[in-house]
């Protein structure tokens, strides 16, 4: 596995993303296949930018990463909310059923 450069590590750290998460985001098998500068293209240095320049790709990639993570978190939050609402609805339905059953039983006894 290609080691990430000092700049790449710093960029990732500044984005509040762990290296493992960053790598797994682009390479689900957890093996970094990109360049050392943090670009997911394995030939970034010398192609996208010169070796002495900071990589612009990782900055853009981290922005995508952050946005997607935020969306994923939002989705998860909505999902939790929906699940909670469904559980409450189910409890209410069960309560309505037992009330109805009780009323029916009382009606039955009255007859
Ligand atoms: Zn690149
Ligand atoms: Zn690069």
Cα of 11 vs centre of ligand 1, distance in Å, is: 14
State the pLDDT at residue 2: 58
| Tokens 């978190």 found at | 73
pTM of this structure: 0.67
Task: Give residue 1's pLDDT band: very low, low, confident or very high (50, 70, 90).
Answer: very low
Say how many domains are in the chain: 1
Protein residues with C-beta less than 5 angstroms from the ion ligand 1: 39, 41, 44, 48, 57
**Distance from C-alpha of 5 to C-alpha of 9, rounded to nearest angstrom:** 6
State the pLDDT at residue 73: 83
Domain of 90 in residue numbering reads as: 6-110
Cα of 19 vs centre of ligand 2, distance in Å, is: 16
Q: Is residue 76 part of a domain?
A: yes
Q: Is residue 57 part of a domain?
A: yes
Q: Is residue 1 part of a domain?
A: no
**Three-state SS at 49:** strand
Q: Is residue 64 part of a domain?
A: yes
Residues in the chain: 111
pLDDT digits (tens, 9 = 90+) for 38-97: 999 999 999 999 999 999 999 999 999 889 888 888 898 889 999 999 999 999 999 999
Q: What percent of the chain has pLDDT over 90?
A: 65
**Distance from C-alpha of 111 to C-alpha of 106, rounded to nearest angstrom:** 9
State the pLDDT at residue 59: 95
Cα of 70 vs centre of ligand 2, distance in Å, is: 24
Please, how many CA atoms are within 13 Å of residue 10, restricted to the half-sphere of its CB? 6
């Amino acid at each position: 596995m290609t080691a990430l450069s000092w700049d790449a590590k710093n960029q990732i750290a500044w984005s509040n993303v762990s290296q493992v998460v960053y790598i797994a985001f682009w390479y689900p098998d957890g093996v970094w296949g990109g360049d050392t500068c943090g670009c997911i293209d394995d030939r970034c240095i010398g192609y996208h930018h010169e070796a002495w320049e900071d990589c612009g790709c990782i900055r853009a990639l981290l922005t995508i990463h952050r946005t997607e993570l935020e969306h994923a978190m939002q989705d998860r939050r909505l999902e939790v909310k929906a699940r909670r609402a469904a559980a409450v609805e189910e409890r209410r339905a069960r309560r309505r059923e037992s009330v109805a059953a009780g009323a029916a039983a009382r009606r039955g006894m009255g007859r």
